Structure 1
Amino acid sequence: MSLKDQFDAAVAASKQLPERPDNMTLLKMYALFKQASAGDVEGDRPGFTDMVNRAKYDAWKGLEGTSQEEAMQQYIDLVESLQ
């Protein structure tokens, strides 16, 4: 099974976890998913009043420079640890 296939399976599995992860874990999952699927973050950082999207942007920005393959593997490992 290719890394992309494993990643796609992990994305599907993430929607069927036995319990909802805490917010910090969800933020990490979001950032890893975005880095794996789109690469480094682009665009302006959301304003101070948009706290949710600002947190998402910051989490994704923290992975800048991580290869898409490495982000896929980290996402797979994280989802497996939550199952």
Structure 2
Amino acid sequence: MSLQDQFQQAQAESKNLPERPDNMTLLKIYALFKQGSVGDVQGERPGFTDMVGRAKYDAWAALQGTAQEDAQQQYIDLIEELKG
């Protein structure tokens, strides 16, 4: 199974985790997914009034420079860990 296939499978499995991860873990999942699927952060940082959008942007921006394949593997590993 290719890394891309594993990444897509982990994406599907992320919707059926046994319990909802805490907010910091959710941000990590989001950031790794975006880095793995899109690459480095894009667009403007959301304004101060959009706290959730800003946190998501910052989490993604923290991974800037991480290779897409590395982010995909980290995403797969994290989802596997959360599945228990």
> What TM-score range do you get, normalising by the shorter chain?
over 0.9
SS in 2 for 1:15: helix
The answer on 1:53 being equivalent to 2:60 is no
Structure-1 separation of matches of 2:29 and 2:36: 10
Unpaired segments ≥5 residues, structure 2: none
Q: One-letter code of the match for 2:7?
A: F
Shift in Å at residue 67 of structure 1? Answer: 0.5
Q: Which residue in the other structure is 1:40 paired with?
A: 40
Partner Cα separation in structure 2 for residue 80 and residue 50 of structure 1: 31
Secondary structure in 1 matching 2:72: helix
In structure 1, runs of 5+ residues without a counterpart are: none
TM-score, normalised to structure 2, is 0.97
RMSD: 0.5
Identity score, percent: 75
Q: How many aligned positions are there?
A: 83
Secondary structure, counterpart of 2:19 in structure 1: coil
TM-score, length basis structure 1: 0.98
